Amino acid sequence: MNVKERINQIFDQMVTVRRHLHMHPELSNEEFKTQAYIMSFLNDLNIDCKPCAKTGVIASIGSKKPCIGIRADIDALPIQEINQVDYKSKHQGVMHACGHDVHTTILLGTAKILKEMEDELENSVKLFFQPAEETTGGALPMIEDGALEGVDYVFGLHVMPYLEVGQIEVKHGQLNASSNGVEIKLIGKTGHGAYPEKGVDSIMVSANLLTSLQTIVSRNTSPLDSTVLSFGTIHGGSKSNIICDEVTLSGTLRTLSKESRAFSIKRIQEITEHIAKAHGADCRVTILDGYEPLVNNNDLVDYIEDTLEKDFDIVYKDKPSLGVEDFSYFSNRVPGAFYHLGCSNHRSDSLHQNDFDVDENCIKSGILSQVMLVLNMK
């Protein structure tokens, strides 16, 4: 089979698939219709598939060794789309603003090509259509449901709007950070705003705390060892002339090393306790488990380069990202590699934005990259 020619032949069909998925986005752990659509597509191709991790799908092609796993995430984000296109999201406040509709389409296209070549394959393939990448992490539940059984290597990709179509970005070693959720409750004492001395103002405590916590990054961490601590929500107070007794804050901690992770968590707890005590308040600090760091297998990164350099412009990423990616649960258990796929349409410049969109020619690139990684693996 001429793979490139066949991809061109199915391209219009795959654009239709992508636009259907884009119009019907579903949030994490709610991807039931997406799951049904994926399984219907695979069943029409006579590809063995089954539900996994409640709203995910596992599919298999071939039976030889080695077995290569390929992952696509399928969930959307709670964002209201502003793009004025025929395939605009039909779900109020929900949008594929991270390209997971494209990832899913690419893997379905890859499945179609590989199924047509099944008798020629010198290996086998497992396809992971993973839910909940944006929130709770669907990778671990898929693994617990047996997704990695028999898998020797695993690959994943993510579209990137700063890359041109035809470019693939790779990085040896660490690609993404680890993450932890941070929830803090400050407990003061209510009172009349005219008599502040009779209360304990949790809003004032939170103001001091937020400033002090940033010293973990600016003064407790080496500038050469990146750490990010960001707070996205703060809630407290009931009326303008009432001293606020409780404030809750939630944020995210991103670190690149186990040592920085443990140290930062310790300092969050210490600083919060001491700031609260200094103001006569109490506190509760909850550190939530997050994603593991994503560290690429260097041999597989070399394999991606060697396999794809004839058809793609290979770009090298210098530094790891403080973003997180739960593909790490797959690649921390079997050798794996994750790479970035150019999708720029010269309008959208970032992921997670309400005007995010792609040049749909990246679907061809994604399918070609995944098919070639399978065909050349011995």
**pLDDT in the model for residue 224:** 87
In whole angstroms, give the CA distance from residue 96 to residue 26: 8
- Between the alpha carbon of residue 97 and those of residues 35, 75, 225, 354, 357, the distances in Å are 19, 10, 30, 7, 7
- Please tell me the predicted confidence (pLDDT) of residue 349: 87
d(CA 129, CA 259): 33
Q: What is the pLDDT of residue 146?
A: 96
For residue range 42-85, what is the model confidence (pLDDT) as tens digits? Answer: 999 999 999 999 999 999 999 999 999 999 999 999 999 999 99
Helix axes 258-278, 202-213, angle to 10 degrees: 150
Contact 157, 149 (CB under 8 A): no
C-alpha–C-alpha distance, residues 345 and 348, integer Å: 7
Domains along the sequence of the chain with CATH: 3-175+293-375 (3.40.630.10), 178-289 (3.30.70.360)
Collect the ranges in the chain with pLDDT lower than 50.
none
Q: Round to whole Å and give the CA distance between 161 and 345.
A: 7
Q: What is the DSSP string of 258-312?
A: HHHHHHHHHHHHHHHHHHHHHTT-EEEEEEEE-PPPEE--HHHHHHHHHHHTTTS
CB 357 within 8 A of CB 349: no
pTM for this predicted structure: 0.94
Could you tell me if 333 and 148 are in contact, meaning their C-beta atoms sit under 8 angstroms apart?
yes
